[in-house]
Amino acid sequence: MMPRALRRLVHLMLFCPLSKGLQSRLPAIKVKYLLLAWLGILIISWIVYMQYASYSELCRGHVCHMVICDHYRRGIISGSSCKALCDQRTLTLQRCMSTSSTHQVYNGLWKERPVVIKCGIEDPVKADGAPDSILRQEMNLFDKPTRGTSMDEFKEMLHTFLKVNLGEQPSLSTLVDRVITLADVNQDGKVSLAEAKSIWALLQINEFLLMVALQEKEHTPKLLGFCGDLYVTERVSHSSLYRLEVPNYLQALIPEALSSSLNHWLAPAWPRRARITIGLLEFVEEVFHGSYGSFLICDANPYHVGYNSKYDCKMANLGSVASEAVVRGFLKGRRCETNADCTYRRDCTATCDRLVKQCNTEVVQPNLAKVCVLLQDYLLFGAPSDLRGDLEKQLRTCVTLSGLASQMEVHHSLVLNNLKTLLWKKISNTQYS
């Protein structure tokens, strides 16, 4: 039961908001107060309900933990994180960050170190919801390689897979060796069936594949461990360029101008944003004609780019990046009516040849142009007055870059270096450099 004093306070707030003299003169005000109070209660209740509904739908880490540890204890999978997750319990899932029910993302701790834990899971709509049904569905992830596969055959499997997903590269053999070394958890010079099944399942995840291919790059999060198709990465202190992300169900209620203004107010000081930007431009260089081919940013989103406590750029979500070979494979021979039919993910768009009604395979907008679209908002507000004019001019040039002509690569490099130099000159020899 509600305490008497609290009931009296609520009664006073709802039914006696104004003096009796003023109420007699303005009786409509009492009704307005009641309506506003009930409207506020309804809105708050709806927000709480939506938050709970989205959490229960998106956050299924307990299922992921159950499936992975069941497979580990039955000897089906292996990995450097399995003991910590399933036996020692020193690797724990804490705060849910998932945006998809089939791709679980959690902030967690591994021996008191902050980490990010990611795990794929069967779509709850396709499964009947029973634990044994989910286990049966997940078993299909670990059906390759089969018992009796030799090491040479497994290496050939890996080489063929990497060739399809990264293109024909002279250094693929080196990458195969890297994968074998990663799979050999107990470092005995051999790869067991459980180790092979685990690394094969992981390679089917685009982000994991890119982490392995780009692991020596400065702006790629470090892979710390794995167990089956669950993997652990370093936690990026700030997982997006902006600190405020409005949930989808609130976007209709909160004006974009308001959320933008709040993000501007919460953003780091301009020199620190310039430092983050330089790191992002360096990442664009890193993924352009690297050791294992070229990579395209196919979802240029400020919530996929993060930075650490030193304001060094770190890509918080490599799932937004795809190899050029995969994008070309998707576009090749694809039927189309308009350019929109020739789009991979959100931002990798090619032109449609309307004569033959097929997509061309070359993406129109290069990585640099997509990044500069983000930077127009992120970098211009609060920019020093003596720099703003040159910065606007550089960003306008950058945004209009086209990726259709291969001979334009020199021009792209020139624009990127000019932008980096402009920013670096401003913050060099300061505390922000």
Phi, then psi, of 74 in degrees rounded to 5? -90, 0
Q: How far apart are CA 155 and CA 135, in angstroms?
A: 28
Give the per-residue pLDDT at 289: 77
Give the per-residue pLDDT at 148: 83
Q: How far apart are CA 28 and CA 18, in angstroms?
A: 11
Give the per-residue pLDDT at 134: 46
Give the per-residue pLDDT at 140: 65
Q: Work out the burial of residue 228: count CB atoms within 10 Å of its CB; fewer than 13 is exposed, 13-18 middle, 19 or more buried.
A: buried
Is residue 347 within 8 A of residue 363, CB to CB? The reply is no
Is residue 288 within 8 A of residue 417, CB to CB? The reply is no
Phi, then psi, of 128 in degrees rounded to 5? -85, 5
**Whole-prediction pTM:** 0.81
Quote the Cα angle for 50-53-59, to 5°.
Answer: 125
* Sequential DSSP letters for 55-120: HHHH--HHHHHHHHHHHHHTTS---TTHIIIIIS--EEEEEE--SBTTEEEEEEEETTEEEEEEEE
* Sequential DSSP letters for 338-359: SGGGGEETTTEEEEEETTTTEE
Q: Which residues contact 368 (CB under 8 A, 6 or more apart)?
A: 281, 284, 398, 401, 412, 415, 416
Q: How far apart are CA 329 and CA 345, in angstroms?
A: 13
Query: For the stretch 119-135, what's the b/e string if a residue is b when 16 or more beta carbons lie within 10 angstroms of its beta carbon?
Result: bbbbeeeebeeeeeebb
Give the per-residue pLDDT at 288: 83
Q: Where are the domains of the chain?
A: 60-122+135-234, 252-429
Residue by residue, pLDDT tens for the chain (433 residues) are 445 554 554 454 444 544 555 445 545 556 666 777 767 677 666 556 555 555 567 888 889 999 999 999 999 999 999 999 999 999 999 999 888 888 899 999 998 899 999 998 765 444 444 444 444 455 566 778 888 889 999 999 999 999 999 998 888 999 999 999 999 998 888 899 999 999 999 999 999 999 999 988 889 999 999 999 999 999 998 888 887 666 655 556 666 777 778 878 888 999 999 999 999 999 999 888 778 888 999 998 888 999 999 999 999 888 889 999 999 999 999 999 999 999 998 889 999 999 999 999 999 999 999 999 999 989 999 999 999 999 999 999 999 888 654 546 778 888 999 999 999 998 887 666 5
Give the per-residue pLDDT at 311: 93
Give the per-residue pLDDT at 127: 46
Closest CA to 95 of 67, 81, 80, 114: 114
Q: How far apart are CA 377 and CA 424, in angstroms?
A: 19
Distance of CA 63 to the CA centre of its chain: 21
Please name the CATH architecture into which domain 252-429 falls.
Orthogonal Bundle (1.10)
Phi-psi region of 42 (alpha: psi -120 to 50; beta: other; left: phi over 0): alpha
